[in-house]
Amino acid sequence: MFIIGITGGIGSGKSTFASLLHEAGLPVIDADQLSHEMTAANGPSMKKIGAIFGNKMLQQDGSLNRKAMAELAFQDKKALDLLSRIIHEDVFDRMDEIIKDLEKQRAASLVLDVPIPVEHGFLDRCKLICCIWADDDIRLDRLVKRGLPAEEAKRRMAVQMTKEDYKKISHYFIMNNGSLEDLRGEAEKLLQEELASRGIPYRSLISPQLLPAP
């Protein structure tokens, strides 16, 4: 199975890019979505989190108290790292299960949409790493339009990996400062260069054809 890893900083458009690959017929596993499942009420991570951190990390319904988690970032980095590690382990365990199911279904390729490109479970699993990036002012504008306060958006951007860090791990580094159609063109280029060359079928994003042709 040919696994494509999609990553990038907040506001870069990585999930939009992953959705374009999904439109082309590739299964997508979204790590953020899995994280929310792991930390929902009665989610697999919550029993461990409650045992270690107590009720301060739990909402009344038993789900993760995200406000308390955010406050932890300013107060206790070691505790935050431990909390993140618990969630990441459960996310990647679930990801393993989904990948095994797709292998049984003989899926030829799939996409992993992962914001933090960790070595174990992501970089070591993907055949191709694609980073989506955008200039800081554009990312900030996108985040504010989503409803995130500007100062909070800047704080989140500041603690993430740098542009150069992402470049070092990427086979494809795509600047997403333009339109959705520009990004669509970049997605089509990747599909043509990486899937068509391997004889892996996909649905073209610029025509209704299923490529490559038999």
Per-residue pLDDT reduced to its tens digit, 62-101: 999 988 877 776 677 788 788 888 999 999 999 999 999 9
Q: How far apart are CA 72 and CA 78, in angstroms?
A: 9
The domain locations on the chain are 2-178
| CB contact at 8 A, 176 and 132 | yes
pTM of the model: 0.88
Q: What is the pLDDT of residue 214?
A: 43
Per the model's pLDDT, the better-predicted residue between 112 and 159 turns out to be 112
Q: How far apart, in whole angstroms, are the C-alpha atoms of residue 130 and residue 102?
A: 21
Q: Taking a C-beta distance cutoff of 8 angstroms, is the pair 22, 129 a contact?
A: no
Give the side-chain half-sphere CA count within 13 A for 159.
Answer: 11
Is 13 in contact with 176 (CB distance < 8 Å)?
yes
Cβ-based neighbour number of residue 88 at 10 Å: 21
> Does pLDDT of 200 surpass 60?
yes
- HSE (side-chain half, CA atoms, 13 Å) at 93: 10
- Residue position matching structure tokens 């990801």: 95
Distances (CA, A) of 214 to 38, 162, 211: 41, 42, 8
Residue 10 · residue 160 · CB < 8 Å: yes
pLDDT value for 24 = 95
pLDDT for the residue numbered 203 = 92
pLDDT of residue 42: 86
Beta-strand relationship, 202-203 and 210-211: antiparallel
pLDDT value at position 73? 64
Say if residue 210's pLDDT is above 70: no
The CATH architecture assigned to 2-178 reads 3-Layer(aba) Sandwich (3.40)
Higher pLDDT, 161 or 76: 161
Under the banding of pLDDT at 50, 70 and 90, the label for residue 136 is very high
**Between 15 and 159, where is the model more confident?**
15
Q: What is the pLDDT of residue 213?
A: 47
Say which range, 16-25, 51-60, 92-101, 111-120, has the weakest mean pLDDT: 51-60
